[in-house]
A and B are shown apart, each in its own frame.
Chain A
Amino acid sequence: MVARLKLVMGVQGRLTVGRVLLWIIGLWLAYMWILPFVWMVSTSFKLPGEVMTQTIEWIPRTWTLDNYRVVFEKPIVRWLWNSMVVTTAITMASIMLGAAAGYALARMNFPGRNVFFMMLLLSLMIPTEMTIVPRFIAFLKLRATDSYAALILPPIAEVFSVYLFRQFFLSLPRELEEAAAMDGASRFRIFLVIALPLARATVIAAAVLLFTTNWNAFLWPLLITFSEEMKTLPIGMAAFAPVTMNRTQIESYAPGMAAMTILGVPSLIVFLFLQRYFMEGVISTGIKG
């Protein structure tokens, strides 16, 4: 009996009551943690009249796609396109700028290197919210609000990306690059052909983190977009919040949850496939940072 339980739990060594309890509570908590998502998907397929029930009903009484039809009355394909364009552009630019600057800060000798690095460290302490009013004024004066440029340009100089690449290149042994330099390879060739390919894991970790952060960005896209067709997906979908609809909750919960399913489930699926990179990204920012 104990041997069977140990096998089921995957325990090696002693089996204590505490461990059995921990196992059960842990799994129960994990289950509770994803219940809100289950509730979201379940509600999205319910008839609006059957959403508010006396007891919790996890399975819809009547299955319907009406809520999704309501969501598609909004220009969500356009919002999705905006989010794709903006997020891809920011991620790619941040990685290219970050890798180049990080490499120079780690490997090359030039006046101002320490000043540059101190500026980076200091800016990490300053909340980005401090920059929103001046950025907003700048784009307003340039008559460039409500545009891709306004959505893409401010976030591309991502300090964290430089920091990550600098850390990686510092940890890389110099021998390979020195050998290539002896063979007469230029600095740019060394960077592009030797150093950068070795940074593959860092590129992926940075890409995953930058993509999720910018895909989910809220404050800046909210401020800088005015027209329906320039909104990103999270901003457009926020229109389904009951609080912005003057609390006609009975009508809004079911379509709202359909909108949230469209917005959230793709992220969850991507996460399921790339989870390793998500975790590695967090660890590289946290521990080594």
Chain B
Amino acid sequence: MTTRQLPADTSLRTRLGRMTWKGERIEWSAYFYVLPFFVPFVIFTIAAIIFGGYVSFTEWRIIGDPLWVGFANYVRAFNDDFVPKVWGNTFQLAAIVVPGTTILALLFALYVNQRLRGFTASRLAFYAPRVVSVTVVGLVWVWMLDTRFGVVNQYLHRAGIPYIPWLTNPDWVLWAVGITTIWWDLGFHMVILLAALQDIPSELKDAASIDGASALQQFWHVVMPLLRPAISLVITLEIISAFRIFSQIFVMTQGGPAGASFSIIFYIYERGFMNTELGYSSALSLMLFLTILVVTLIQLRIIRERA
């Protein structure tokens, strides 16, 4: 029997070995390289997203079975007074964090790129907040922004500015979270911009300065156009991370005072995990995804049109 199977077996092997895909021989062993990654990837990301879509059409309170409710969660979201508030808070945060980080990161990168003495230490200092846990970032800033005894207000007070109730006043709390986020995130974006700056050939700037361009003209007409792809990337990354702000709020304010610092993800967390409304929570996260998608597309279009 074995002698009979052997030729058939080899012929299958040789047939497999001769098979081609897009004009080239197929390497079947590739699946041994790819599947160890793709199996968990499909389970924990692709299947999870699809399942999340299903959950958003159900009412599911963790205990018990899901109940199909159709679009009820989405209808509820449109009638929920807190939804516009939460979305508004998040847009406001993005409006503070995105321009703040971009402009400061660009200025810091331009300074570091001058390579004046101490620039490596400065680069280190600007990047440092990025490496510590968000728990550290949040807690240190709660203390820094303490109304009466925090370092920030003490400095401002010395300059004649009255004490600002950063974390206890609804009008100020988003600024507090925003400042903290800028301090935390800036170094990352500065390094991206710095790498882009270093890729600009110095001959270009030399040529411009021989033509009599001032430093400012050089920056605006030579450096800026070449930086545009990096700036576009930095803005895209910042928008996505601004819409995902959660941990800072968890550590600093828990959404307070009076819901003034509820971000979208914090609301998703609060609905889904504090109130066990998993269906509603899923619907909200799908709406968040669509929001990020639309904002990113609009932003890319604006930047491309300017270019």
Contacts and interface: CB of A to CB of B under 8 A. Distances in A.
Nearest to B198: A283
A62 interface: no
Interface in B225-280: 230, 233-234, 240, 243-244, 246-247, 250-254, 256, 265, 268-269, 272-273, 278
Interface stretch (A17-25, A65-73, A197-205): A17-25
Nearest to B168: A247
Nearest to A33: B125
Interface in B110-130: 111-112, 114-119, 121-129
A166 to B, nearest CB: 11
B49 A131 contact: yes
Contact residues of A: prevailing secondary structure: helix
A56 interface: yes
B49 A33 contact: no
A10 B24 CA distance: 57
Interface stretch (B6-14, B26-34, B93-101): B26-34
A130 interface: yes
B36 interface: yes
Contacts of B265: 129, 219
B148 to A, nearest CB: 7
A86 interface: no
B281 A133 contact: yes
A23 B117 contact: yes
B114 A267 contact: no
A110 B30 contact: yes
Contacts of B299: none
Interface string A111-141: 1010010010001011101111111111010
B24 to A, nearest CB: 4
B191 A138 contact: no
A237 B146 CA distance: 20
Interface in B123-144: 123-129, 131-136, 138-144
A121 to B, nearest CB: 13
B256 A243 contact: yes
Contacts of A127: 240, 243-244, 285, 288-289, 292
A194 B110 CA distance: 40
Contacts of B52: 130-131, 133-134
Contacts of A97: 36-37, 40
28 contacts: A8-B117, A23-B118, A26-B122, A27-B122, A29-B126, A33-B126, A98-B37, A100-B37, A108-B29, A110-B26, A116-B34, A119-B41, A123-B41, A127-B289, A129-B265, A129-B288, A130-B49, A132-B272, A134-B47, A157-B45, A162-B37, A218-B246, A237-B135, A238-B135, A268-B132, A279-B191, A282-B192, A287-B196
Given A30-B125, A113-B30, 6 more contacts: A29-B111, A98-B37, A116-B34, A188-B29, A215-B133, A241-B138
